[in-house]
């Protein structure tokens, strides 16, 4: 009987585990989402799926466009939080300390005069489940999160072939230290 009771709880736990698709911004920095100094952008997985479908349906015989469409469909949401009226450096420090405590690993770090740009990843089973871009420069601050399930080759392709937010910076950085990982 006890075993039978355990089953629905287990199923419930699995369901919640499966539906826990929160990105780092939602998990750790949601307080800034209601802050008027910040701009927000969110693109849902469904929207990405539509964009991917759009590419695939127009690919015709173009194999590369079809692959890119499939890759774009893998993006399970993009969220951006940015401001031009905060203390970028101090916020950068706060964000870094929260992220390193929460198992995000450094992927790329560019420090140039007063500006900082960092890419961090959360990996599971050898795949990148979340890519974060954190940039700070004077009063500017941007935090970008992209959820999905990518190989590093996928990320390089996204950087090379798309205008997805953050990917341009990723492309520039990874060309400096070819094959970031």
Partner 1 sequence: MTAQAQSKSVKAMYEKYKSNDDFFHLELGGNFMNFAQGFKIDIDENDMATVAKSIEKLNFFNLPDNSDQNKMEYKALLKGLEKERYELLMETTDKKSGISIFSKGSTKISDLVVLVSGDEGDLMVFEMKGSFDQELVAKAVNYKSKN
Which residues contact partner 1 (rule: CB under 8 A)?
Answer: 36-37, 39-44, 46-47, 49-51, 53-54, 57-58
Q: Taking the complex as a whole, how short is the minimal distance between the CB of residue 139 and partner 1, in angstroms? A: 15
Nearer to partner 1, 57 or 177 (CB): 57
> Rounded distance, CA 112 to CA 58, Å?
41
Nearer to partner 1, 53 or 171 (CB): 53
Please classify residue 16 by burial: count the beta carbons closer than 10 Å to its beta carbon, then call 0-12 exposed, 13-18 middle and 19+ buried.
Answer: exposed
Q: Taking the complex as a whole, how short is the minimal distance between the CB of residue 108 and partner 1, in angstroms? A: 26
Nearer to partner 1, 49 or 98 (CB): 49
Nearest to 79 by CA among 140, 21, 122, 23: 23
Nearest to 153 by CA among 127, 120, 177: 127
Angle, alpha carbons 108-162-131 (nearest 5°): 35
Nearer to partner 1, 37 or 181 (CB): 37
Nearer to partner 1, 85 or 106 (CB): 85
Q: Taking the complex as a whole, how short is the minimal distance between the CB of residue 45 and partner 1, in angstroms? A: 9
Residues 6+ apart with CB under 8 A from 86: 37, 38, 139, 141
Q: Taking the complex as a whole, how short is the minimal distance between the CB of residue 28 and partner 1, in angstroms? A: 19
> Is 136:91 a contact under the CB 8 Å cutoff?
yes
């Amino acid at each position: 009987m006890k075993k039978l009771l355990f089953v629905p709880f287990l199923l419930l736990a699995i369901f919640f585990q499966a539906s826990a698709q929160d990105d780092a911004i939602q998990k750790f920095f949601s307080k800034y989402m209601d802050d008027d100094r910040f701009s927000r952008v969110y693109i849902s997985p469904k929207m990405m799926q539509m964009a991917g479908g759009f590419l695939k349906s127009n690919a015709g015989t173009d194999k590369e466009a079809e692959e890119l469409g499939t890759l774009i469909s893998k993006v399970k949401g993009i969220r951006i939080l940015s401001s031009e009226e905060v203390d970028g450096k101090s916020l950068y420090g706060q964000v870094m300390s929260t992220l390193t405590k929460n198992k995000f690993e450094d992927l790329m770090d560019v420090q140039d005069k007063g500006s900082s740009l960092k890419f961090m990843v959360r990996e599971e089973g050898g795949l990148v489940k979340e890519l974060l871009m954190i940039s700070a420069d004077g009063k500017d601050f941007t935090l970008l999160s992209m959820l999905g399930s990518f190989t590093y080759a996928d990320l390089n392709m996204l950087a090379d072939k798309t205008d997805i937010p953050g990917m341009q910076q990723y492309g520039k950085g990874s060309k400096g230290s070819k094959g970031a990982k």
